[in-house]
Structure 1
Amino acid sequence: MKFITKAIALTAFAALAACGGNKAAENVEAAAENTADTLEMQAENYSEAADNAVGATENTLENQAEALENKADAVREAGENAADAIEANSQ
């Protein structure tokens, strides 16, 4: 949740500072994409660790990887929505 909160705060700040129109929207979307990519890399690390684990540890690692992938999707969506809002407000 902290990543999502930070991403939403970042996009809200960028929306307020969006004097440049589409460039600001692109920056917001790129920042969200970078955050989501980082989350997916962390998820991949958990998945790889799960491959080397057994039992409850394996399940826990797989669940953590899935949660990170879900957060990455949410961050991407928030970034896209914020970029759309910036573009709409700049027209």
Structure 2
Amino acid sequence: MSKSIALSLVLAASLGLAACGGHTAENAANNAANAAENASNAADNAMNAAMNAADNAANAASNATNNVANAM
């Protein structure tokens, strides 16, 4: 009788640990997905900044051309 109770306790403890392990794996998967999303957002932000810099440079060149034309 005591062996079956001890076995039941070991089994319950094992299932409890397995359940905790599942959450850990789920958290790790969520952390990986969040890291990938953050990397994608960082790449998008860098691309937007580069495009804005290019637009600003083109606008500055256009403004300089207009200023020369207006001075004549």
- TM-score (normalised: structure 1): 0.41
Which is richer in helix? 2
Given candidates 68, 72, 79, the residue that maps to 2:28 is 72
From the CA coordinates, give the structure whose radius of gyration is larger: 2
Q: Residue type of the partner of 1:58? A: S
Give the ranges of 4+ consecutive aligned residues of structure 1 lying more than 6 Å apart after TM superposition: none
How far did 1:74 drift?
0.1
TM value normalised by structure 2: 0.51
Gaps of 5+ in 1: 1-52
Paired positions, count: 39
Higher relative contact order at CA 8 Å, sep ≥6: structure 1 or structure 2? Answer: 1
Give the Cα separation in 1 of the matches to 2:28 and 2:18: 15
Gaps of 5+ in 2: 1-8, 48-72
1:56 Cα deviation from its structure 2 partner: 1.1
